[in-house]
């Protein structure tokens, strides 16, 4: 689990940026965060959007939906 709020903020920003495109490429997740997509989308903040900064509910729902879909697909 990610304890560093700076890293968590980066992960949430990535998830928000790639949300409309299905969550982002696995290669970018590995390169940017050093983890596979399953670990990335299970991380609090990208799956439950417990972000350090408040987000609009619609954004939380979008990111959560993408994270769940990616976990379900196993990608």
Q: Which residue has the higher pLDDT, 74 or 51?
A: 74
- The per-residue pLDDT for 18 is 94
Contact at 8 Å (CB) between 15 and 23? yes
CB 25 within 8 A of CB 33: no
- Give tens-digit pLDDT for 4-30: 778 888 888 899 999 999 999 999 999
* N-terminal to C-terminal alpha carbon distance within the chain: 19
Q: What is the pTM of this model?
A: 0.77
**Mean pLDDT across the stretch 47-58?**
64
Task: Report pLDDT digits (tens) over 24-46.
Answer: 999 999 999 999 999 999 886 66
Q: Could you state, in order of their start, the residue ranges of all structural domains in the chain?
A: 5-73
Instruction: Tokens 């991380």: give the residue.
Output: 43
User: Which two tokens mark 1?
Assistant: 């689990």
Q: Are 9 and 61 in contact (CB under 8 A)?
A: no
């Amino acid at each position: 689990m990610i304890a560093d709020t700076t890293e968590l903020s980066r992960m949430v920003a990535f998830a928000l940026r790639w949300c409309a495109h299905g969550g982002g490429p696995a290669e970018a997740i590995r390169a940017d965060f050093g983890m596979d997509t399953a670990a990335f989308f299970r991380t609090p903040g990208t799956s439950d959007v417990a972000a350090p900064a408040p987000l609009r509910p619609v954004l939380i729902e979008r990111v959560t939906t993408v994270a769940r879909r990616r976990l379900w697909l196993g990608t």
